Chains A and B, each alone.
Chain A
């Protein structure tokens, strides 16, 4: 009996002392974690895409709570969750957020096989980064899309794919979360995040060629030559021409499409506009390109 009693007392005492020490230590060395971080973390999509600029969603949650304590959520935006998620987060933290507009990735190159002649064949590693390091690529344009799909590989949402007919990547507006991974992956900075626009309507310069007019014209049929007609035409001052390249500021653009009509090279593109009004421009461009192809094929036949 005695043995049992001694064992119980000894172990009980050790247990008690250990409990007191542990309790004291946990009080003394406690690390306070704001419970809101976990709550915010639950609201975020959990894709860990890094589109917000932080290492994963937990990093973003931390930054959001810190931002709320500092009194502002400016500059913090989850591109995947968008305004909806940010609204929920703001409610939880008792903050208001500026209504940020939804964005989408835009591929600014229209150098399809028919617009941009191939002048060489590249046989090396088929990634855009490798081809870019090697030289101008398979065409004479040193700025345009290389078509190896580094952006496709970078997209975690399956929103971007190379169109086999044109060789140029296309973005699925619905799937794109504007996380910006493709923007970083493109070695030529062709992809840009732009305002999604009402009903996905957008007007942008689909070219990034900074060569002077004649060189740009030689390289591609739809290159911007920096003529400045669009700059003069724009009633809202949204267009600037710098380094032989026009750029439309998507914050100032009101989608009037006057620039589209004056561009002599059809380098300015308007997408998702109703056919009735835009038919003149889009139709004429398609007809002209198709007639061009038929001409070239005729020429080839003649040569053969």
Chain B
């Protein structure tokens, strides 16, 4: 049987999954936890605590600041030290809540037992109740984009959801947090998937996993068969050929159900699919069944020169420095610190940046690998066109933004770019394609927004 994958473009970078077989350990509590108010796409959260307030683990510290927004919960117990600014993953100083950690006292409403709660034991759960609990627990997409999950589950009236696709692809090199989660918490993930299907009112579910994780494919296939056979749900584990950026929503929909999502503003649900990360499924399980808001996540800390790269179950707000120290400290020499993996990750200039809802990995690239090579003239080889998973012409878009021809850039669909970096990776002339395209995309989106505002 031919193994499925998406239809257009893609690359296969060196995997470097250094931490595949390293069991997850619970990270130590930090002395001070930092909670940026903007950890999700949309409006920043609004603080509901003041300096000197006592908080417990799971206390609401900031409420949603709009419709597209998410509340933030404390991951530690202690005293609010101050509400100030600190450098977050954007590289800029942004409003944060800083909490001095004292002990580890949890809110009583949270079920801390390890007992697996099944949906069958809660017949009173309605789809509305599930969506509501997800919303109130501040659950956002855990794959990195951090889009509030409850919005994805309530599609616009023009679209109808037909299936939920669990994104367990983890196509980005180095990162293994999702894989470890699947191996260690598979039962919870499947309950999470069931809740997501209930919330979206569908009965079809898929779990897309790349073939470089055979153990996870085997384990989940077996558990799915046991759990969902004889129920109204049809869940299928779909092995996928290794190809980056398969974890992109649109690529995953294409790979799993062979449907192509049209250009923006269309979203996967326009072709009937709701895509959720495995981490999100787990967070949904904890939020709905254990009443535990989102304040903890699985994160990989990795790098070729780290002495002990590992996977951590970490409280959000923990500075990256603590995790890097737990892995043996920052390697000597020049390093590039990334929040995320080497393809889509964001380079940081400070190790004080906290782990947020979307930090799936802390990657440290060392020495020569961290440096870019000198750009050479474009030789029109069209490799970038061949690898673009969105069917765009990266060399052209980059040039158009360089010469500021925004009208043409818009007509060439620059806004469809998913910023996966495949073009940049493959360019034999080391041209800064994505840098230019990203600038052009931001400018064109600004033009489109201002045009819409005028109307």
Contacts and interface: CB of A to CB of B under 8 A. Distances in A.
Interface of A: 119-121, 123-125, 127, 129-130, 133-136, 140, 142, 211-212, 215
B389 to A, nearest CB: 22
Contact of B442 (A133, A136, A142): A133
B442 A124 contact: no
Given A121-B334, A123-B371, A124-B432, A136 B439 contact: no
A136 B87 contact: yes
B347 A135 contact: yes
- The secondary-structure label for the interface of chain A is loop
B325 interface: no
Given A130-B435, A133-B442, A215-B85, A119 B349 contact: yes
B85 A211 contact: yes
A110 to B, nearest CB: 20
A130 B85 contact: no
Contact of A134 (B84, B347, B371): B347
B436 interface: yes
Contact of B439 (A133, A212, A215): A133
B92 to A, nearest CB: 5
A135 B435 contact: no
Interface of B: 84-85, 87, 90-93, 334, 346-349, 371-372, 432, 435-436, 438-439, 442
Contacts of B90: 135
B435 A125 contact: yes
A125 B432 contact: yes
Contacts of B371: 123
A56 to B, nearest CB: 17
Contacts, number: 46
A142 B84 contact: no
B436 A134 contact: no
Contact of B349 (A120, A123, A125, A212): A120
B432 A136 contact: no
The 5 A-B residue pairs with the shortest CB-CB distance in the complex, in nearest-first order: A135-B91, A125-B435, A125-B432, A120-B349, A123-B372
A249 to B, nearest CB: 27
Given A123-B371, A124-B435, 17 more contacts: A120-B349, A121-B334, A123-B372, A124-B432, A125-B439, A127-B439, A130-B436, A133-B439, A133-B442, A134-B91, A134-B435, A135-B91, A135-B349, A136-B349, A212-B84, A212-B85, A215-B93
B92 A125 contact: no
Of listed B349, B371, B438, residue having the most chain A CB within 10 A? B349
Contact of B438 (A121, A133, A142): A133
Contact of A129 (B346, B372, B439): B439
20 contacts: A120-B349, A124-B372, A125-B435, A127-B439, A129-B439, A130-B432, A130-B439, A133-B439, A133-B442, A134-B91, A134-B347, A134-B435, A135-B90, A135-B92, A135-B348, A136-B87, A136-B349, A142-B91, A212-B85, A215-B93
Contacts of A135: 90-92, 346-349
Contacts of B435: 124-125, 130, 134
B419 to A, nearest CB: 11
Contacts of B93: 142, 211, 215
B44 to A, nearest CB: 17
Contacts of B442: 133
Nearest to B337: A120
Of listed A127, A130, A135, residue having the most chain B CB within 10 A? A135
Contacts of B347: 134-135
Contacts of A127: 439
Of listed A123, A125, A130, A133, residue having the most chain B CB within 10 A? A125
B356 to A, nearest CB: 15
Nearest to A210: B93
B402 to A, nearest CB: 9
Contacts of B438: 130, 133
A219 B259 CA distance: 50
A270 to B, nearest CB: 30
Contacts of A124: 372, 432, 435
A221 B70 CA distance: 38
B95 to A, nearest CB: 12
B100 to A, nearest CB: 18
Nearest to A121: B334
A133 B334 CA distance: 23
Nearest to A140: B349
A136 B92 contact: yes
Contacts of A130: 432, 435-436, 438-439
A214 to B, nearest CB: 10
B167 to A, nearest CB: 26
Nearest to B87: A136
Nearest to B348: A135
Contacts of B91: 134-136, 142
A212 B94 CA distance: 12
Contacts of A212: 84-85
A38 B90 CA distance: 51
A129 B435 CA distance: 10
A123 B438 CA distance: 16
A134 B348 CA distance: 9
